[in-house]
Chains A and B, each alone.
Chain A
Amino acid sequence: DTAVSQTPKYLVTQMGNDKSIKCEQNLGHDTMYWYKQDSKKFLKIMFSYNNKELIINETVPNRFSPKSPDKAHLNLHINSLELGDSAVYFCASSQDRAAGETDTQYFGPGTRLTVL
């Protein structure tokens, strides 16, 4: 069973469209994340949710709206897609840390978004 899964794997769409990427984790983790990897391969955090509450929002445009219906899911909805949104989007999850431990993050396989 895949620990962190994302759908779709590839997404090709036109500028101006609205699209969603879904993420599910079956690890029982409390925290989920979205990262973006651009064409230069820089990987950067976008959002983080803990127990369905937003805890990190890294100056991402308002066109990006994460939604967490439950602890196991964190979806990313993007409005009015722009050429610059083309990238690979990775979902990740981690468990809340116990004292003295670290929260290893587990990443999904990525969704390659191409905006034409």
Chain B
Amino acid sequence: DAKTTQPNSMESNEEEPVHLPCNHSTISGTDYIHWYRQLPSQGPEYVIHGLTSNVNNRMASLAIAEDRKSSTLILHRATLRDAAVYYCILRDEDTGFQKLVFGTGTRLLVSP
């Protein structure tokens, strides 16, 4: 599995936008970029995923660099509930049933 690199932690104030970066310089053409997050004392939950184009859903936006070697998860207005560990994961969608390979993620702290 291709490797991702994320900052260990980031801080934000409530109601401000948050940009969580992820570097994946060894990404292959068939790797999708997935983001999951884990709230305290809960299981991970899916946030968003994309391949080449930027993606938006009700939770977040995903901005993917043109060369696909990096991406940014954007929370448009952080809330206290968004405090979690965010994982950027690459998945090869061509090879069937896929496990999720979690790295260390970015711990997002949100202040009131």
A residues in contact (CB < 8 Å) with B: 4, 31, 33, 35, 41-45, 48, 50, 55-56, 58, 90, 92, 97, 102-110
Contact A102 B102 (CB under 8 A): no
Q: Which residue of A lies closest to B38 (CB)?
A: A43
Nearest-Cβ distance from residue A88 to partner chain B, whole angstroms: 9
CA distance A41 to B44 in the complex (A): 12
Nearest-Cβ distance from residue A113 to partner chain B, whole angstroms: 15
| Interface CB pairs A-B, < 8 A, 10 | A55-B97, A56-B97, A90-B44, A102-B91, A102-B93, A103-B97, A103-B98, A105-B36, A107-B43, A110-B43
Tally of A-B Cβ pairs under 8 angstroms = 52
Q: Identify the 6 closest CB pairs spanning chains A and B, nearest first.
A: A107-B43, A45-B99, A43-B102, A104-B46, A90-B43, A107-B44
Instruction: Digitize B19-58: 1 where CB-to-A-CB distance is under 8 Å, 0 elsewhere.
Output: 0000000000000101010100111111001000000000
CA distance A109 to B40 in the complex (A): 11
Q: Which of B79-112 contact A (CB under 8 A)?
A: 85, 87, 91, 93, 97-102, 104
Nearest-Cβ distance from residue B49 to partner chain A, whole angstroms: 6
Contact B85 A41 (CB under 8 A): yes
B residues in contact (CB < 8 Å) with A: 32, 34, 36, 38, 41-46, 49, 85, 87, 91, 93, 97-102, 104
Nearest-Cβ distance from residue A100 to partner chain B, whole angstroms: 9
Contact of A48 among B34, B42, B45, B97 (CB under 8 A): B97
CA distance A24 to B38 in the complex (A): 20
Q: Decide: A42 near B104, CB < 8 A? Known: A102-B91, A109-B42.
A: yes
CA distance A50 to B104 in the complex (A): 27
Q: A56-B99, A97-B93 are in contact. List 18 more A-B contacts (CB 8 A).
A: A33-B99, A41-B85, A41-B104, A42-B104, A43-B87, A45-B101, A48-B97, A48-B99, A58-B99, A90-B43, A102-B49, A102-B91, A102-B93, A104-B49, A106-B45, A108-B43, A109-B42, A109-B43
A43 cross-chain contacts in B, Cβ below 8 A? 38, 44, 87, 102
